[in-house]
Amino acid sequence: MKIAVCVKYVPEGAARRIDSATKKLDRSGEGTLNPFDANAVEEALRLKDERGGEVVVVSLGPDKAADALRKALAMGADRAVLVSDQAAEGSDLVATSLVLARVLEREAPDLVVFGQQGSDSDGAVLWAAVADRLRLPVVSQAAELTLGDGSLRVKRQTEYGYDVLEAPLPAVVAVSDAINQPRYPSLKGIMGAKRKPQETLALGDAGVDRERAGWEGSRTTVLRLEPPPPRGESRRIEDDGSGAAAQQIVDFLAEKRLL
C-alpha cells in the first residue's frame, strides 16, 4: 500500500518570531520538522510495517525544508517530494491545499496522513481542504487507527466524547499527537536517508499556475501586528535540579492567600 504523509517545515521554537517589516513569520532562523508531523510519519511507518508498501513524504516549503524531509526519511520514509518555489511564498490555506492536492493527485496514494497541527500556525484545518480538492473522504483527530480490507477505522475525540468512524480507501486522515510515540532516527537511518530519492518541484512541475499559489493565490491577508494585551505581572523561577523551587512556590501561594 502506498501512503503519503504531508509534513511541514516550521521555525524552531515558533514563539515571538514575527518580522515587523514583512509582518510575517521570520523564517530566517533554524527550522525543523513540525513535531506534530513526526506522529504522522510514525503512523505511516507502522502501517507500512503491517501491510508493506511505500511511504512518501510531501511538503510545500522553502528549499531549507529539505532538511526536515530528511528527518522523515531517517525515521524510515522511502521518498520525499518538496514543492519549493519563490512564487509559492505566502501561500494560505486555499493556495497550500491546491499545491498539495496537485502533488497528491500525481502520487495517487491509498492513504494520505496529516499531523495534528502546525506548531507555528495552529491551524489544524489543512486536511479537510486537501480532501475536498481530492474528492476523498476525510477523518480528523484520529487517536487510534486500524486498517481493514480496503477501509480504515478511527477512534477520535470530539467535544462530546469518542466517535468511531469508518472510511473506504483511498482516504485522508489526520492523527492526534497521542496516537503513537514517534521513533528516533537510528544512526543507520540517518546515514541511509542521504541516498533516498528526494525530488524538488517548482510550481509548474506540480501542475499549479503561479497565480493560484503564493500571495497572489491566497485569499487572506495580514494587516498588522500588535503586542498581546497586557496580563498581570508574571514571575519566573528556575529550579536548580534539587526541587528547591517548591519552597518558592509555597511562598507564592501563601502570598496569594491560596494556602
Ligand X SMILES: Nc1ncnc2c1ncn2[C@@H]1O[C@H](COP(=O)(O)O)[C@@H](O)[C@H]1O
Report the distance separating Cα 167 and Cα 12, nearest Å: 35
Residues 24-53 that bind ligand X (CB under 6 A): 34, 36-37, 40
Q: What is the sign, positive or negative, of the torsion defined by CA atoms of 225, 229, 233, 235?
A: negative
Looking at the Cβ atoms of 52 and 229, the one nearer to other proteins is 229
Report the distance separating Cα 121 and Cα 7, nearest Å: 13
Amino acid at 235: R
Q: Quick check: 57 and 45 in contact, CB under 8 A?
A: no
Report the relative pairing of strands 31-33 and 9-11 from DSSP bridges: antiparallel
- CA 54 from chain centre, in angstroms, equals 19
Binding status of residue 116 toward ligand FAD by CB under 6 A: yes
Residues 51-70 that bind ligand X (CB under 6 A): 59-61
Residues 110-129 that bind ligand X (CB under 6 A): 114-118, 121-126
Look up residue 135 and give its three cell numbers. 474528492
Binding status of residue 124 toward ligand FAD by CB under 6 A: yes
Contact of residue 61 among ligand X, other proteins, ligand FAD, none (CB under 5-8 Å per partner type): ligand X
| Min CB(189)–ligand X separation in Å | 21
Residues 31-70 that bind other proteins (CB under 8 A): none
| Min CB(116)–ligand FAD separation in Å | 5
Stretch that binds other proteins, among 50-58, 65-73, 126-134, 196-204 (CB under 8 A): 126-134
